[in-house]
Copies of this chain bind each other. A is one copy, B any other.
C-alpha cells in the first residue's frame, strides 16, 4: 500500500474523521499544521460570539455581568473536568499564560523561603524561562538549568540530578514546545516533593491533545493557554490550576479586586476570597472566555481518549512518512519515536528549515518554523486528517528535491 493509500485507509477508519465539519474551513485545500499555535474557529464559537456580542453586550449591557462574573470559574471547572484531570474549584480562566505563570511561581517561592534555587530546563518555552530569570533576579535566587537531550526532553533522572534541599520550585513544560516530548508529570512532581520543592507545570502544548492528570499526578500548580488545542481563539485568556490543598497557603503577588471577598463592598482593606477565586486579579476578557467555553466543550464532547488515540496515529503516520520520504534527503526527526513520549506535534529538522517553511506556505501547507532549523507540524486531532499529513510531508519532500 502506498503512503497515500495508507492515509486514505486511516482517514476512512478514523472515528473523529467528521469532526472537521464542526469547524470553519474557509479553504478546504489548505493544509493547516498550526492548530498547536492557533486552533481553528469552531462553528459553535462563531455563533456564540455573535450572540454574546449582539445580545449580551449590545442589548443586555451591564446586566450581563450577573452571569459573566462566574465565567472564570465555570469555564475553569469545565477545563478541569474534561481536559486537566482536576477537581472542581481548582482551575480559573483569566489573564495570559505569562501573567499566571508569574503569579503562581511567585506564590510558590514565597511558600518556600530560605530555598535559593529554581529548577527549569534550557529548552523550556521562552516566556517561562524569562519569568523565572526575572523572579530569580529580583529575589537574589539562582536558576539551575537542566540541559537535557533536546529530542527526549528532561527525564526524571535529569531532574533528580539537580534537586536538593536548596530547591524551592521545579518548573517544566508537560509537552515541550519544540520537540513535542512529554515529560513524566507524576514522576517529576514526586521527585520535587521528595526534595521539599513545589512543581509548576506549563500545559500549553498538551492540554486538549494529551491526557493530563493533575490530581492523580500529585501536581501542585499549573498554567496553560487556550488558543492551541482548545481552540479558544487568538490571545484568549489562559488558565491556572492550584491544587485544593495549596489554595489556603499560597498568596499570589497581585492583590486585585477580583480576588477580594465581597468585591462590590469595595472594602477599605484587602481581604482575599477563599478557594480558587483568591487567584483572580482584574476583569477578565468576556468575549474570549465565551470562546474558550465552546472550544473546551468540543474537546469534552469528542473525549480525550479518542483525541489521544487519533493524535498518536497521526504522529505515528508522520514519523513513518518522515522515515520514508524525508530522512533520505537529509531531514532528521526532532521528536521522540516512542508514541508514549510524544505529544501532538512532530518536529523535523533541516539546515534549510526557514526557506523550506516559506516554500511550504507558498504551496498551501502551513507549518511553523522554530529557529534555527526546525519545522513543526502541529497535528490537531479534531481538524487534521491523515491526508493532510500525507500531502504536507510529500510536498516537503518535493521541495527538498527528493
Contact A282 B127 (CB under 8 A): yes
Q: Does A322 make an interface contact (CB < 8 A)?
A: no
Q: Does A154 make an interface contact (CB < 8 A)?
A: no
Q: Which residues of B contact A37 (CB under 8 A)?
A: 62
Pick the contact of A366: B61, B237, B267 (CB < 8 A). B61
Distance between Cα atoms of A54 and B122 in the complex (Å)? 38
Distance between Cα atoms of A383 and B126 in the complex (Å)? 45
Q: Does A310 make an interface contact (CB < 8 A)?
A: no
> Which of A54, A61, A267 neighbours the largest number of chain B CB atoms within 10 Å of its CB?
A61
Contact B53 A65 (CB under 8 A): no
Q: Does A249 make an interface contact (CB < 8 A)?
A: no
Pick the contact of A62: B34, B131, B235 (CB < 8 A). B34
Known: A126-B267, A134-B254, A270-B130. A58 touches B46 (CB 8 A): yes
Which of A94-102, A325-333, A342-350 lies at the interface with chain B?
A94-102
Contact B233 A57 (CB under 8 A): yes
Q: Which residues of B contact A233 (CB under 8 A)?
A: 53, 57, 286-287
Contact B97 A282 (CB under 8 A): yes
Known: A38-B62, A99-B95. A264 touches B131 (CB 8 A): no
Q: Does A351 make an interface contact (CB < 8 A)?
A: no
Pick the contact of A287: B30, B50, B287 (CB < 8 A). B287
Chain B, Cβ-Cβ closest to A59? B26
Distance between Cα atoms of A390 and B207 in the complex (Å)? 54
Q: Which residues of B contact A98 (CB under 8 A)?
A: 254, 256-258, 281-283
Q: Which residues of B contact A260 (CB under 8 A)?
A: 126, 130
Contact A38 B53 (CB under 8 A): no
Pick the contact of A58: B41, B56, B131 (CB < 8 A). B41
- Considering only residues 235-294 of chain A, those with a C-beta below 8 Å from chain B are 235-238, 253-258, 260, 263-270, 281-289, 291
Q: Which residues of B contact A58 (CB under 8 A)?
A: 24, 26, 40-41, 46
Contact A62 B287 (CB under 8 A): no
Pick the contact of A286: B46, B234, B286 (CB < 8 A). B234
Distance between Cα atoms of A288 and B285 in the complex (Å)? 8
Q: Does A27 make an interface contact (CB < 8 A)?
A: yes
Contact B287 A257 (CB under 8 A): no
Q: Which residues of B contact A267 (CB under 8 A)?
A: 126
Q: Does A138 make an interface contact (CB < 8 A)?
A: yes
Distance between Cα atoms of A32 and B62 in the complex (Å)? 9
Q: Does A340 make an interface contact (CB < 8 A)?
A: no
Distance between Cα atoms of A30 and B61 in the complex (Å)? 11
Q: Which residues of B contact A237 (CB under 8 A)?
A: 285
Distance between Cα atoms of A61 and B280 in the complex (Å)? 30
Pick the contact of A281: B50, B99, B129, B253 (CB < 8 A). B99
9 A-B pairs with the lowest CB-CB distances in the bound complex, closest first: A96-B282, A98-B282, A134-B255, A26-B59, A234-B286, A127-B257, A98-B256, A24-B58, A41-B58
Return 9 A-B CB contacts under 8 Å, by A number.
A26-B55, A40-B61, A49-B287, A64-B234, A68-B235, A99-B254, A126-B257, A234-B286, A235-B286
With A98-B257, A133-B255, A235-B285 given, name 6 new contacts (CB 8 A).
A24-B59, A41-B58, A46-B54, A63-B366, A96-B283, A131-B254
